[in-house]
Amino acid sequence: MNRPEKNEYAAFYETYVSLVAETNIVSALEKNLDELQNLFAEISEEKGSYAYAEGKWSIRELLGHLIDGERVFSYRALRISRDDKTPLASFEENSYIANSNFGNAKLAHLIEEFSLLRRSNILFFKNLAREAWLRTGTASDAAVSVRALAYIMVGHVRHHANILRERYLV
């Protein structure tokens, strides 16, 4: 599956899409899961409550945000791949975190939850027909294709993994 064209996603997603050099997006989703699991294997349970500044998410909350993002992006991909033309709303990530219990969860449980979601999504994408990958819909008031959503999913995790390395694990 080729990379998405820039007209297949909103400009604000370029930050994520630009982090994905791979052209085989299913392999990239698998590699991305391994990268994240390896990164979190280095973080102790005690460190999970650390936030690098006042008002910033803890490591647990950052991982919770990745879980929420995985769910939201994959739901969008499902709906659009099934040719559902209903516009899909955006999500307010800070509100999601504020109304979650991620800060009290065990890191091991959170990484397991993300891993199970990602594995399920990998199977979903592996089974998509070619025409489903190319379908477009509307999410967050912008056009987006199924293949762009797969790239966004990988790039979203890489973006936050970079922040984790640069600001939390220094």
pLDDT, position 72: 98
pLDDT, position 26: 98
Question: Residues of the chain with pLDDT > 70: what percent?
Answer: 100
Question: Which contacts (CB < 8 Å, 24+ apart) does range 1-8 have?
Answer: 1/25, 1/26, 1/130, 1/133, 1/147, 1/150, 2/147, 3/147, 3/151, 4/145, 4/147, 4/148, 4/151, 7/143, 8/136, 8/143, 8/144, 8/145, 8/147, 8/148
Question: Residues of the chain with pLDDT > 90: what percent?
Answer: 99
Gyration radius of the chain over CA positions: 16
pLDDT, position 52: 97
* pLDDT band of 1, cuts 50, 70, 90: confident
Cα separation of 17 and 24, whole Å?
13
Give tens-digit pLDDT for 113-135: 999 999 999 999 999 999 999 99
Q: Which domains does the chain carry?
A: 6-168 (1.20.120.450)
User: What does the mean pLDDT of the chain come to?
Assistant: 97
Give tens-digit pLDDT for 8-63: 999 999 999 999 999 999 999 999 999 999 999 999 999 999 999 999 999 999 99
Cβ atoms < 10 Å from Cβ of 39: 16
Can you tell me the mean pLDDT for 99-113?
98
Give tens-digit pLDDT for 64-97: 999 999 999 999 999 999 999 999 999 999 999 9
